Structure 1
């Protein structure tokens, strides 16, 4: 069977959406570091939507460590299929990636592309590890950073490439580019800026000053569930496309991209294709943590106690779905300082619709991972704010108590917890008796509960919630939820 490519694009079934522009008229204006599935299902789709009117913003995708994406997409002229997962799935072909480079083999080409005056934006999805940080600062002992400082003209890290690209532009009299971080990381642009400047200072103080004065590093917030590509997806799309696609991607229909409007060298009209331009990225991050991630954790712990496997199944369980909606609208939303123009109730409605999507098999067991790290930012911050405002926290305490019962059940059953505190939590869980005394032992985890553990206004309702869940059997949990 033929591969998907420019030549086979006209042969696709008419039901499949395809680029609404002549790809030969587009020019590369964006270099993306980390051309993985999320970028191709998210940012590249927004760019695909705007190229018909703004052809100067096509993408060069760069894989920093692997050649796999290049080898899959190069024979396909950069084309790939995107499956939008919903009750009525949709399929479209994305054409915004005009070039794919493997940095380990084509480093010189990557640097030339970064130095190209037509390139005005560099975007990144390299995960938190790719920032090579130690706390909030650049980890100068990181092997990749140490290598790049020793050989800055042949970088291997994202930070090294960004700096060397900017050095070449300064040397050649080319304006700096905007560095737009798109990783799911709070203050992502700020972290990248600090890393870049600390790296540049080690090489050349004048270069660092030039970067600080000319380049910008906007923050952003991204959101869309993107399951991994597997052979089942390839087989299904082969039948629909009538040709082979070596690396299609899939995601839920919902997508969100919020970007700080701080570009130094021009930008596309992102807002025209659904991007929210805002200077309140921290507010959007907090809203996502509290209104999306906290209910996710609530479903994970209480749903697991009910014997439920996935988010969609949890939302098909009325007693749990009703509780989660009441929690979001009545207990969480009042404690979210919404950014300008942000409609919390509409956002909640969109989240609930996403949770119900039967095409996304998001397992509660996976969402339950790392609870000791997630609870403080997802739920305990909301509880602190609610207490300060004199609001009830009774409903908010139920998912926290649910986590405690989840730890107790997993430990009693001999199931290891996926959590940095696995050893400590397992010991606590095995010793727990299901009575009020358990709560005090959990609250002694200072890295989780901090000052809240000594606040009786929190301890008393948490203890009551823990006892309400009783033996944590499905019947008892269901009864507690219906009465909450």
Structure 2
């Protein structure tokens, strides 16, 4: 019988499970984090857990916050187990489990007044975010979109009497900063931990862009005073299902309502701009640099771009797990050819890193059979991921006059996926916030491929470039004519 995860039960867990060498009473809050999901608990929270285990910087405990409906369920589950998480790290040769405990609380999702009060607290010196790539209100060119209804609503109500319920994370952050400014409290650092190029700058544009609509003087203060360091984060972390809960119970005897499974590899490269101080994360493996751009571009284009590349052909071929996709010789060869020939040539040099070695490392990580990462997860939210992970490489190659055959095929396969059936005829469940729109366009594109490119808010300038249009149209027609499998064969043979 498994033991319910809780602070009082840690001493009863099996010796094979590492447990914290500190308790919640040893910690004080220093960070408010928006988005207490799997990736945060496998990444930032693990680094802090290791730091606290060393007896260092225990005034940087995490307070969770959120604005989405599913944040309520997450809060309830974590609160019931004293904000502890079982993290299971896996690679092809080993599996190890640990319980992490860096959280000291979770603000009630939707209680804007309580969240703003926490943000205004001088003890909070960092506000961090993992709100997914789609949470930053960006247009196809990567610019902040001030016309989004959520942003407009926050701006309209910001200074209204009694207004205390921003709809967005950025409304909450801005309200917290405004309160600190009015009370002569130095601003916290805003640390984005999402997979977006120049993620600190993107977050600054969202907070200051909202401030532009509210109070230009406040916006200027944000831009001149608040630090938004860029960072690159990396750890493959699948979604949690009943499968993972059952595995934790069976193998480790722990009843955890939301365990996290991840690979053993992890990386965090971060610009060292923290005016209010920071935890000594360099003691536990974080790399601090003056400019993170080379690392983030490498990771986003090779790893995240690689995920997008294998996701849609694998889905069309009815493959369930990512490692199974990498076991398929056509998908593995497609990824290798695409990365070597079209992606790496437009990735600038990275200090101390051989890009071919990095490519091979990524392929090995994708092939890890223990992770259980799913193709469905990789296919999620293509409308936000394609413009961030695939199309920037397209734009760079077009600017050089270089071919984009394989990169255009990635988006053609995505279009075919959004039609809603696999090559075998099996249905594909909606898997994007914009699914209805995408499927409507994909259905039109079966007979008129250029119809998919009419979504210029996704495709940007590439949609108007003759070379890209020709490659996309040919790729999509080929996929419809002969299926994903044979299309990959042609691409690999330089016959597409």
TM-score normalized by structure 2? 0.78
What's the CA shift string for 1:266-312, capped at 9, x where partnerless?
11232332333345445444333421233333323444565544321
Contact (CA 8 Å) 2:197, 2:388: kept in 1 or not? Answer: no
Partner of 1:298: 309
Equivalent residue, structure 2, for 1:136:
144
| 1:247 aligned onto 2:258 | yes
Over 3 Å counting, the alpha-carbon distance change for 1:174 and 1:232 in structure 2 is: same
The yes-or-no answer on 1:55 pairing with 2:58 is yes
Candidates 150, 170, 176, aligned match of 2:181:
170
Instruction: Out of 89-98 and 159-168, give the one that drifted further.
Output: 159-168
Q: CA deviation at 1:95?
A: 1.1
User: Structure 1, residues 365-394: CA drift from partner, whole Å, max 9, x if none?
Assistant: 564567677556544543554465566656
Alignment of 1:318-397 (within 5 A): 318-364=329-375, 367-368=378-379, 378-379=389-390, 381-383=392-394, 385-386=396-397, 389=400
Is the radius of gyration larger for structure 1 or structure 2? 1
CA distance in 2, matches of 1:402, 1:4: 43
Cα gap change, 1:151 to 1:8, in 2 (>3 Å): farther
CA drift of 1:355 comes to 1.2
- Give the drift of 1:193: 2.5
Match of 1:92 in 2: 98
Report the alpha carbon displacement of residue 467 of structure 1 after superposing the two structures with TM. 9.0
Q: CA deviation at 1:127?
A: 3.9
Aligned to 1:11: 12
The match for 1:271 among 270, 274, 282 is 282
Distance 1:415 1:73, change over 3 A: closer
| RMSD of Structure 2 on Structure 1 (CA) | 4.0
Aligned residue number for residue 207 of structure 2: 196
Question: How has the CA–CA distance of structure 1 residues 71 and 372 changed in structure 2, closer, same or farther, with 3 Å as cutoff?
Answer: closer
Kindly state the Cα deviation for residue 321 of structure 1 after the two structures are TM-superposed.
1.5
Greater displacement, 337-346 / 55-64: 337-346
Pairing of 1:81-160 with structure 2 (within 5 A): 81-87=86-92, 88-105=94-111, 107-108=113-114, 110-127=115-132, 131=136, 136-139=144-147, 141-142=149-150, 143-151=153-161, 154-156=164-166, 157-160=168-171
Change (3 A) 1:471 1:406: farther
One of 406, 409, 427 as aligned partner of 2:444: 427
Contact 1:64-1:102 at 8 Å conserved across structures: no
Report if the CA contact (8 A) 1:72-1:247 is conserved.
Answer: yes
Please list the CA deviations of residues 100-122 of structure 1 after superposition, one character each: whole Å capped at 9, or x if unmatched.
Answer: 221435843x4443333332111
- 2-structure distance, mates of 1:409, 1:2: 42
The C-alpha deviation readout for 1:122-142, integer Å capped at 9, x for no partner, is 112234665567861445853
SS of 2:74's partner is helix
Task: Give the TM-score normalised by structure 1.
Answer: 0.80
Greater relative contact order (Cα 8 A, min sep 6): structure 1 or 2? 2
- DSSP-derived class of the 2:366 partner: helix
Q: Is contact 1:26–1:57 with CA below 8 Å preserved after alignment?
A: yes
Instruction: Indicate if the aligned counterparts of 2:61 and 2:102 stay in contact, CA closer than 8 A.
Output: yes
Deviation at 1:96, TM superposition (A): 0.8
Give me the whole-angstrom Cα distance separating, in 2, the residues matched to 1:353 and 1:174. Answer: 47
- Do 1:4 and 1:76's aligned partners in 2 also have CA atoms closer than 8 Å? yes
Q: 1:234 aligns with which of 245, 253, 260?
A: 245
SS, match of residue 7 in structure 1: helix
Aligned pair count? 474
- Corresponding residue to 1:472 among 478, 482, 486: 482
Structure 2's unaligned 5+ residue stretches are none
Say which SS state the counterpart of residue 65 (structure 2) adopts. strand
Q: Secondary structure at the match of 1:251?
A: strand
